Structure 1
């Protein structure tokens, strides 16, 4: 895994509300950003110029290839069709959720109580999956940003099995305006899935650490 320490290129897969918001905040934070969707880059170009100014539309395979960090912000039902070979040795941020009352029951994500990001990691077996951004709404991605030191700065959980990948993603979370709370394994990301207390709650770092077991937080 090639870790880029300064400004990694971020590839956002998905141009819906979550993907668009993530593209905007990462561009504003100074990252080079590409974006892809089910439509081709020519169809996406006008939308991107208005909704995600500064982000470069690309075909999905090209965006993945060019990206140092690939963010999954696609509808969950589209995920199983992704080719795992495209993600070999990539850092992949899983911002998706499996929420049956909203998404309906999806057999691909029904695996004996495993967290949805663990299933993503199983499918993308050669990637380094990090779970974050999933436990806040698309509008909060922009509205809840705060500078370092702000007493109301919101905490985001960042969970993954690869320490260096977690640290890089945590640096992105910090740079765009949130306090990263890192976790020692992808399994720990279950603590901020739908139905868990941290999901959808605006929590400062001390509140997050109080709510989520300290034994997994760093």
Structure 2
């Protein structure tokens, strides 16, 4: 059985009962840059909704079942080092919290953001040439037509058209230069509160 590069990912927004490290395939184009401590976007659940995750392990071993691939990396450099990850594991076991709850306590609030993945047809290629480059009535053609119908389209809308096959079709279109993916990030800013206290002591 052929060994592949696999990633163990802590997934955001999962309840404690379902919190564990989920295994994903590292696509060929991300091998070398998919490092422990970086954030990623991944397809999660039956609906393959795009969620954020943290790479806590990267291993090379044989996959015993079909795996979903990582979508994209969100960081140029790791945000967590080996010491941080040991602390996260200890906190999860000690305080019965999720991996993400533990991670959020040791990272500054400014690193968290909302992620949007948008797609559009390569502007250097005409619509006619783009459509003629893919097989008629294929998922790739359906996705291209959806992109052509709008200036840019959300990844979630494309997922509705192809389900689990969408990710592979989009990677193919991107590799051929027919489609372009853009990532838009917005920092999640939270209201800051300051607690004021005063001593109840007489001025006398």
Which TM-score band (shorter chain)?
under 0.3
- The higher radius of gyration belongs to 2
Tell me which of the two structures has the higher relative contact order, counting C-alpha pairs closer than 8 angstroms and 6 or more residues apart. 2
Q: Please state which structure has a larger fraction of its residues in helix.
A: 1
Q: How does the TM-score come out when normalised to structure 2? A: 0.25
Q: How does the TM-score come out when normalised to structure 1? A: 0.24
